[in-house]
Amino acid sequence: MVAIPMKTPETARVELHDELPSTTVEELAPLYRQMLAIRRLEEASAKAYSQGKIGGFLHLIIGQEAVCTGAIAALRPDDYVVATYREHGHAYAKGVPARPILAELYGKKTGLVRGLGGSMHLFDKATNFLGGYGIVGGHVPIAAGAAFASKYRGDGRVTLCFFGEGASTIGGFAEGLSLAALWKLPIVLICENNQYSMGTPLYRSLAVEDVSLRALAHGMPRDRFDGDDVIKVKRRIAEAVERARETGEPTLVEVITYRFRGHSMSDPGLYRTKDEVEEWRRRDPLNRCRARLVEVGMDEAALTALEDDVKAEIEDAVRFAEDSPAADDYLSYVEKV
Amino acid sequence: MAQIIGLPKLSPTMEEGVLVRWVKQEGDKVSPGDLVAEVETDKANMDFTMEDDGVLLRLLVKEGETVKLGAPVAILGKAGEDVTELVARAAAMTAEVSAPVSAPAPVPVAAPVAAPVAAPVAAPVAAPAPVAAAAPAAAPAAAPAAAPVSLGGKLLASPLAKSLAIELGIDLRMVSGSGPGGRIVERDVRAVAESGPKPADAAAAPVTGASSGAAAEPVAMVARPAPVTPVRYGDQPGDFVDVPASNMRKRIAARLTEAKRDVPHFYLMRRFDVEPVLAFRGRLNALLGDRGKVSVNDLIVKAVALALRRVPDCNAAWNGDSIRKFRRVHVGIAVAIEDGLVTPVVRDADLKGLGVIGAEVQDLARRAKERQLKGHEITGSTFTVSNLGMFQIERFTAILNPPEAGILAVGGVVEEPVVKDGQLAIGKRMTVTMSCDHRVIDGALGARFLAVLVEQLEHPESLAL
Amino acid sequence: MPVISYREALNQAMREEMEHDPNVFIMGEEVGHYNGAYKVTQGLLQRFSERRVVDTPIAEMGFAGIGVGAAMVGLRPIIEFMTFNFSLVAIDQIINNAAKIYQMSGGQFHVPIVFRGPSGPAVQVSSQHSQSFESFYAHVPGLKVVMPSTAYDAKGLLKSAIRDDNPVVFMEGETLYGMTGEVPAEEYTLPLGKGDVKRAGTHVTLVAWSRMVHTCLDAAKVLAADGIEAEVVDPRTLRPLDTELIVTSVKKTGRCVIVEVGWPMAGFGAEVAYRVQRGCLDHLDAPIERVTSDDVPMPYAKNLEDEVQPQVKDVVAAVRRTLYLD
Three-state SS across B286-333? HHHHHHCCCCHHHHHHHHHHHHHHHCHHHCEEECCCCEEECCCCCEEE
Domain limits for position A224: 25-313
Nearest Cα neighbor of A252 from A265, A261, A239, A271 is A239
Position C44 confidence tier, pLDDT thresholds 50, 70, 90: very high
Instruction: Give counts: helices (H), strands (E), chain B.
Output: 10, 22
How confident is the model over B46-67, as pLDDT tens digits? 778 777 788 888 888 888 888 8
Residue B144 has pLDDT above 60, yes or no: no
Instruction: Kindly provide the b/e burial profile for residues C275-308, where b requires at least 16 CB atoms within 10 angstroms of the residue's own CB.
Output: bbbebbeebbbbebbbbbbeeeebbeeeeebeeb
Instruction: Give the C-alpha distances (Å, rounded to integers) separating B258 from A291, B76, B183.
Output: 102, 38, 29
B278 vs B144, higher pLDDT:
B278
On whether any CB of chain C is under 8 Å from the CB of A217, the answer is no
In angstroms, rounded to a whole number, what is the distance separating the alpha carbons of residues B212 and B224?
27
A10 belongs to a structural domain:
no
Average pLDDT over residues C233-246: 98
- Distance spanning both ends of chain B, measured CA to CA: 61
What is the reported pLDDT for B12? 61
Closest CA in chain A for residue C140: A334
What does pLDDT average to over chain A? 92
Q: How confident is the model at residue B80 (pLDDT cuts 50, 70, 90)?
A: confident
More confident residue, B245 or A251: A251
| Structural domains in chain A (count) | 1
Is A232's pLDDT higher than 70? yes
Q: What is the pLDDT of residues B367-409, one digit of tens each?
A: 988 888 887 888 889 999 999 998 889 999 999 998 899 999 9
User: If 0-12 CB within 10 Å is exposed, 13-18 middle and 19+ buried, where does residue A22 land?
Assistant: exposed
Pairing of strands B406-410, B331-333: unpaired
Instruction: Specify the 3-state DSSP secondary structure of C304.
Output: helix
Taking the C-alpha atoms of residue B121 and residue B231, their distance in angstroms, rounded to an integer, is 41
Q: Which of B49-53, B410-414, C110-114 has the highest mean pLDDT?
A: C110-114
Q: How far apart are CA B7 and CA B107, in angstroms?
A: 7
More confident residue, B292 or A320: A320
3-state secondary structure chain A: CCCCCCCCCCCCCCCCCCCCCCCCHHHHHHHHHHHHHHHHHHHHHHHHHHCCCCCCCCCCCCCCHHHHHHHHCCCCCCCEEEECCCCHHHHHHHCCCHHHHHHHHCCECCCCCCCCCCCCCCCECCCCEEEECCCCCCHHHHHHHHHHHHHHHCCCCCEEEEEEHHHHHCHHHHHHHHHHHHCCCCEEEEEEECCEECCEEHHHHCCCCCHHHHHHHHCCCEEEEECCCHHHHHHHHHHHHHHHHHHCCCEEEEEECCCCCCCCCCCCCCCCCHHHHHHHHHCCHHHHHHHHHHHCCCCHHHHHHHHHHHHHHHHHHHHHHHHCCECCCCCCCCCCC
Q: What is the pLDDT of residue B220?
A: 39
The mean per-residue pLDDT over the stretch A192-200 comes to 89
Which residues fall within 8 angstroms of residue A264, CB to CB, at 6 or more apart?
A57, A58, A59, A60
Residue B154 has pLDDT above 80, yes or no: no
B23's CB contacts (< 8 A; 6+ apart) are: B35, B36, B37, B38
State how far residue B191 is from chain C, nearest Cα, in angstroms. Answer: 15
CA proximity to A194, closest of A205, A181, A183:
A205
Q: Which of C25, C69, C97 sits opposite A144 (nearest CB)?
A: C69
pLDDT at B199 over 80: no
Please list, in sequence order, all residues whose beta carbon lies within 8 angstroms of the beta carbon of residue B232, skipping any fewer than 6 positions away. Answer: none
pLDDT at C248 over 70: yes
Residue B281 DSSP one-character state:
H
The answer to whether A69 touches A42, Cβ cutoff 8 Å, is no
Tell me which residue of A122, A138, A58 sits closest to A90, measured CA to CA.
A122
The CATH number of the domain covering residues in C3-182: 3.40.50.970
Hey, how many other C-beta atoms are within 10 angstroms of the C-beta on A126?
A: 10
Using the Cβ of C160 and the Cβ atoms of chain A, whether some distance falls under 8 Å is answered with: no
Contacts with A213 (C-beta within 8 Å, 6 or more apart), sequence order:
A9, A11, A12, A222
Q: Which of residues 31-90 of A touch C (CB under 8 A)?
A: 80, 82
- SS3 state at C146: strand
C-alpha distance from residue B82 to each of A257, B1, B28, B57, B87 (Å): 72, 10, 16, 9, 10
Q: How far is B1 from chain C (nearest CA, A)?
A: 28
Q: What is the pLDDT of residues A43-102, one digit of tens each?
A: 999 999 989 999 999 999 999 999 999 999 999 999 999 999 999 999 999 999 999 999
CB pairs B-C closer than 8 Å: 48
Does residue B414 surpass a pLDDT of 80?
yes
Residue C240 preceded by cis peptide, ω within 30: yes
Task: Identify the band that residue B153 occupies on the pLDDT scale cut at 50, 70 and 90.
Answer: low
Ranges A242-246, A256-260, B16-20, B124-128, most confident: A242-246
Partner-chain contact C102 A335, CB within 8 Å: yes
Its pTM stands at 0.65
Number of residues that make up chain C: 326
Percent of chain B with pLDDT over 70: 77
Q: Using the 8-state DSSP alphabet, how is residue B407 labeled?
A: E
Q: Look at B370 and A116; give whichever has higher pLDDT.
A: A116
CATH of the domain at A203: 3.40.50.970
Report cis status (omega within 30 of 0) of the bond before B403. yes
As beta bridge partners, residue A192 has A164, A255
- Contact list in C for residue B139 (CB cut-off 8 A) is 227, 323, 325
pLDDT at B94 over 90: no
CA distance C227 to chain B (A): 5
The residue of chain C nearest to residue B185, with distances taken between CA atoms, is C285
Between B308 and A199, residue with greater pLDDT: B308
- Among B28-32, B338-342, C89-93, top mean pLDDT goes to C89-93
pLDDT at B375: 79
Residue B104 has pLDDT above 50, yes or no: no
For residue C128, CA distances in Å to B197, B281, C136, C139, C298 come to: 61, 103, 16, 21, 8
**C3-182 and C196-322 in the same fold:** yes
Q: What is the mean pLDDT of residues C225-248?
A: 97
**Which one of the listed residues B265, B330, B376, B438 is annotated catalytic?**
B438
Q: Is C197 on the interface with B (CB under 8 A)?
A: no
Domain regions of chain C by residue span = 3-182, 196-322
For CA atoms A264, A265, A268, A272, give the dihedral sign: positive
Q: In the structure, do chain A and chain B come into contact, i.e. share 3 or more CB pairs under 8 Å?
A: no
Q: Searching chain B, which residue's CA lies closest to the CA of residue C282?
A: B159
Chains linked to A by 3 or more Cβ pairs within 8 Å: C
Nearest-Cα residue of chain A relative to residue C60 = A175
**Per the CB < 8 Å rule, is C66 touching A142?**
yes
- Chain A contacts of C64, Cβ < 8 Å? 141
Q: Is residue A73 part of a domain?
A: yes
Could you tell me the pLDDT band of residue C131, with boundaries at 50, 70 and 90?
very high
Q: Which of C226, C282, C325 comes nearest B163 by C-beta?
A: C282
Q: With beta carbons less than 8 A apart as the criterion, state whether C92 and A135 touch.
A: yes
- CB C102 to CB A143 under 8 A? no
Query: pLDDT grade, residue B13 (50/70/90)?
Result: low
How far is A166 from A206, CA to CA, in rounded Å? 9
- Sign of the C-alpha dihedral, residues B287, B291, B296, B299? negative
Closest Cα in chain C, distance from residue B141 (Å):
9
| C284 contact B CB<8A | yes
| Catalytic residue list of C | 60, 129
Which residues does chain C have within 8 Å of residue B161's beta carbon, measured at their own beta carbons?
Answer: 285
pLDDT for B132: 40
**A 158-177 residues with CB < 8 A to C:** 171-172, 175-176
Whether A172 and C92 lie within 8 Å, measured CB to CB: yes
Distance in Å, alpha carbon of B89 to nearest chain C alpha carbon: 23
Cβ neighbours around B266 below 10 Å, total: 14
pLDDT at position B213 is 39
- Using CB atoms, pick whichever of C51, C142, C166 lies closest to residue A152: C51
pLDDT in the model for residue B229:
45
Tell me how far CA of residue B279 lies from CA of B274, B347, B459, C265, in angstroms. Answer: 9, 26, 11, 90
First-residue to last-residue Cα distance in chain A: 56
What's residue A118's pLDDT? 96
pLDDT at position B194 is 84
Q: Quote the CA–CA distance of C175 and C67 in Å, as a whole number.
A: 27
* Residue A76 covered by a domain: yes
Region B357-370: mean pLDDT is 90
Report the mean per-residue pLDDT for chain C.
Answer: 97
Question: From the candidates A142, A150, A183, which should be mutated to test the interface with C, based on the most C CB atoms within 10 A?
Answer: A142
Looking at the complex, does the CB of residue C226 fall below 8 Å from at least one CB of chain B? yes
pLDDT tier, B19 (very low <50, low <70, confident <90, very high otherwise): confident
| C-alpha to C-alpha distance for C183 and C179, rounded to whole angstroms | 12
List, as ranges, residues 23-62 from C with C-beta within 8 Å of B: none
Handedness of CA A166, A172, A175, A179 (dihedral sign): negative
Q: Residue B158 is nearest to which of C226, C229, C285, comparing CB atoms? A: C285
What CA–CA distance (Å, rounded) separates B292 from B283? 13
Q: Does C283 reach chain B within 8 Å, measured CB to CB? A: yes
Q: What is the mean pLDDT of chain B?
A: 78
Residue B106 has pLDDT above 50, yes or no: no
List of residues 6+ apart from A79 with CB closer than 8 A: A128, A157, A158, A159, A160, A241
What would the mean pLDDT of A256-278 be, rounded to a whole number? Answer: 87
Cβ atoms within 10 Å, residue C185? 9
Contact C57 A141 (CB under 8 A): no
Compute the distance between CA of residue B301 and CA of residue B295 in angstroms, rounded to an integer.
Answer: 10
- In the chain, the amino acid numbered C198 is K
Residue B159: closest C-alpha in chain C: C282
Q: What is the DSSP letter of C127?
A: G
- Judged against a pLDDT cut of 50, whether residue B195 lies above it is answered with yes
Q: Do B136 and C203 touch (CB under 8 A)?
A: yes
Residue contact C323–B137, C-beta within 8 A: no
Mutate to test the interface with C, among B160, B178, B190 (most CBs of C within 10 A): B160
Contact, C147 vs C115, CB < 8 A?
Answer: no
pLDDT given at position B11: 66
> What pLDDT does residue A275 have?
87
Residue C31: is its pLDDT beyond 80?
yes
Task: Give C184 to chain B, closest Cα distance, Å.
Answer: 37
C71: closest CA among A148, A334, A337? A148
Does C touch B (3+ CB pairs < 8 Å)? Answer: yes
Separation in Å, CA B395 to CA B260, B331, B434, C92: 19, 20, 11, 92
Whether residue C93 contacts residue C122, with contact meaning beta carbons closer than 8 Å, is answered with no
pLDDT greater at residue B115 or residue C46: C46
Q: Bridge partners of A131?
A: none
Taking the C-alpha atoms of residue B356 and residue C51, their distance in angstroms, rounded to an integer, is 116
Cβ <8 Å between C323 and B136? yes
Let me know if C22 is exposed, middle or buried by CB neighbors in 10 A (0-12, 13-18, 19+): middle
C241 touches A at CB < 8 Å: no
Torsion (CA) A15, A19, A22, A25 in degrees, nearest 10: 100
Supply the DSSP symbol for B184. Answer: B
Q: Tell me whether residues B185 and C285 touch, CB distance under 8 A.
A: yes
Residue C251 confidence class, pLDDT cut points 50, 70, 90: very high
> Is the link from the previous residue into B148 a cis peptide, with omega within 30 of 0?
yes
- Name which of C104, C141, C166 is nearest A131 (Cβ-Cβ): C104
Which residue from C minimizes the CA distance to A142?
C69
Shortest CA gap C249–chain B (Å): 14
Average pLDDT over residues C88-96: 97
Chain B: residue whose CA lies nearest to C287: B158
- pLDDT of residue B308 exceeding 50: yes
Supply φ then ψ for residue B3, to 5 degrees: -135, 160
Instruction: List chain C residues with CB under 8 Å of B179.
Output: 286, 324
Instruction: Find the closest chain C residue to B179 by CA distance.
Output: C324
The CATH class of C196-322 is alpha beta
Question: What is the C-alpha to C-alpha distance for residues B87 and B94, in angstroms, rounded to an integer?
Answer: 10
